[in-house]
Amino acid sequence: MADDLLLTLEPFSSLSKIVKNQLECWPDHYGFLSDRFVGNDKLFLQRCDSVANLALKLIDNEIGEYCESYKWTCLNFVAEQKHFVRYGQYRLTTFEEAREQVYDNDEYMSRYLRGILMSQIFWDNHARAIDWFREQFLVSCRSGGDYLEVGPGHGLYAYFAAQADRFSTLTGWEYSAAGVAATKAALEKLGVKRGLDLVRQDVLESDPHGGAFDVAVISEVLEHLERPQVALRTLYRCLRPGGRLFVNVPINSPAPDHIFLWRNQQEVLDLLSHAGFKTLEAEYFPVTGYPLDQALKRRLTVNCVFIAERI
Amino acid sequence: MGRLGEVARLICDVFGDESINVSPDLNIRELENWDSFRHVNLMIAIEDAFEIVIAPADMEHIYSIRDLLSVIERRDESGG
């Protein structure tokens, strides 16, 4: 039925608004968005609606631009997918290549970041990773701890960490001054009352302030690094014994700036254990429209999320 | 084998079904096993067989075999 999608979303005003705008801009995306939303349980959709409400705050009055950017981002991902299917590798393998082609290109980055924000709503694997962070990880953190997030970017994870109201301090590390400024602006738009102390810090370098944390969060960052194991070792050193780590990393996930390829969940589990972490919980969220076994068999993107403990 | 025959062979191969009746009006997206990732695989197979490059924006607009044939024919017109 042509109206199944809009009927499903009718009770959820923010989701409805974003999806209707996206369909006006890109009617051919109807099938994908139906796979994403139709048949989901209502409580999950309710939580997705609250994320969509936050996204609308970030989008402000530029929804048309965000929808266009999302379509553009998806088409770029298709080009990367073609390369991945053909050669079995990501197109880029070094940070320098990603910097030249993506990060230093302001126009490209502006559209890309807009598209990625929309993907937090439209892609099942992204939406479920955020949901798992809220529903499983945050509630498992003890009260009064010090929270660190590497690469908070759009600020959605940091927003929920602040809202959880269980951390004594909140710190965010961004690689660049531009990243610090962008995340600061995003958190202001989101109305985060409790301050996240944002600092410019490369996760591949030791923290010069010798910060000590009880919780570290690194979501969709490791795949952008040439040496993700170094980043995990940095976090290991920053965490107090018994500290908790939340990791979200996509496998088989060709994207314009993904350079480190993991082909299965075990490779990520091994990375965690080699860095000194004990994995306590793991969950795997496949790309929209596929069950996990099919996604793995066909080498499609799966977001792997873990809660690990610093031994 | 004509162009339509070659396309038919590739479609049966990508979709793993030798019984697909491929005609110009066939809507690829209505095939039982169609999904966006198989669509990408089909485009790669077409690119390799006909030595063309199909832009992602063009892939989005390919629904029927006729659409596919016109993308292939554009190569002939451009002398590629």
Assembly ipTM: 0.82
State the nearest Cα–Cα gap between B19 and chain A, in angstroms. 23
CA distance linking residue A96 with residue A197, whole number of Å: 28
Of B44, B56, B59, the CB nearest to A85: B44
pLDDT in tens, A88-99: 999 999 999 999
Q: What is the CATH number of domain B3-77?
A: 1.10.1200.10
Q: What is the mean pLDDT of residues B24-32?
A: 93
Touching B: A residues 55-94, CB under 8 Å: 75-76, 78-79, 81-82, 85-86
Residue B33: pLDDT band with limits 50, 70, 90: confident
CA distance linking residue B24 with residue B29, whole number of Å: 13
CB spacing of A81 vs B37 below 8 angstroms: yes
Contact predicate A22/A72, CB 8 Å:
no
Residues in B touching A75 (Cβ below 8 Å) = 56-57, 60
Contact predicate A161/A217, CB 8 Å:
yes
Contact predicate A118/A126, CB 8 Å:
no
Q: What is the mean pLDDT of residues A259-263?
A: 98
Residue B80 has pLDDT above 60, yes or no: no
Preferred mutation among A78, A86, A290 to probe B, highest tally of B CBs within 10 A: A78
Residues in B touching A298 (Cβ below 8 Å) = 37
CA distance linking residue A169 with residue A199, whole number of Å: 13
Domain residue spans of chain B: 3-77
CA distance linking residue A259 with residue A149, whole number of Å: 21
Residues in A touching B38 (Cβ below 8 Å) = none
CB spacing of A85 vs B41 below 8 angstroms: yes
pLDDT in tens, A239-260: 999 999 999 999 999 999 999 9
Contact predicate A82/B44, CB 8 Å:
yes
Q: What is the mean pLDDT of residues A74-79?
A: 95
pLDDT of residue A209: 67
Residues in B touching A85 (Cβ below 8 Å) = 40-41, 44
pLDDT in tens, A9-55: 999 999 999 999 999 999 989 989 999 999 999 999 999 999 999 99
CB spacing of B56 vs A79 below 8 angstroms: yes
Residue B14: pLDDT band with limits 50, 70, 90: very high
Residue A1 has pLDDT above 50, yes or no: no
* Interface residue B4 vs chain A (CB under 8 A): no
pLDDT of residue A306: 98
pLDDT in tens, A113-162: 999 999 999 999 999 999 999 999 999 999 999 999 999 999 999 999 99
pLDDT of residue A3: 82
CA distances (Å), origin A101, targets A37, A108, A147, A228? 33, 9, 33, 20
Q: Which two tokens stand for residue B1?
A: 């084998």
* CA triple A284-A287-A291, angle to 5 deg: 65
Higher-scoring residue by pLDDT: B77, A200: A200
CA distance linking residue B72 with residue B54, whole number of Å: 9
pLDDT of residue A155: 96
CB spacing of A32 vs B35 below 8 angstroms: no
Least confident among A22-26, A54-58, A208-212:
A208-212
Residues in B touching A76 (Cβ below 8 Å) = 56
Contact predicate A115/A255, CB 8 Å:
no
CB spacing of B40 vs A28 below 8 angstroms: no
Q: Which two tokens stand for residue A127?
A: 């939406």
Contact predicate A203/A229, CB 8 Å:
no
Q: Which two tokens stand for residue A220?
A: 């969709």
Preferred mutation among A70, A73, A76, A81 to probe B, highest tally of B CBs within 10 A: A81
Higher-scoring residue by pLDDT: A255, A211: A255
CB pairs < 8 Å spanning A and B:
26
Touching A: B residues 44-73, CB under 8 Å: 44, 56-57, 59-61
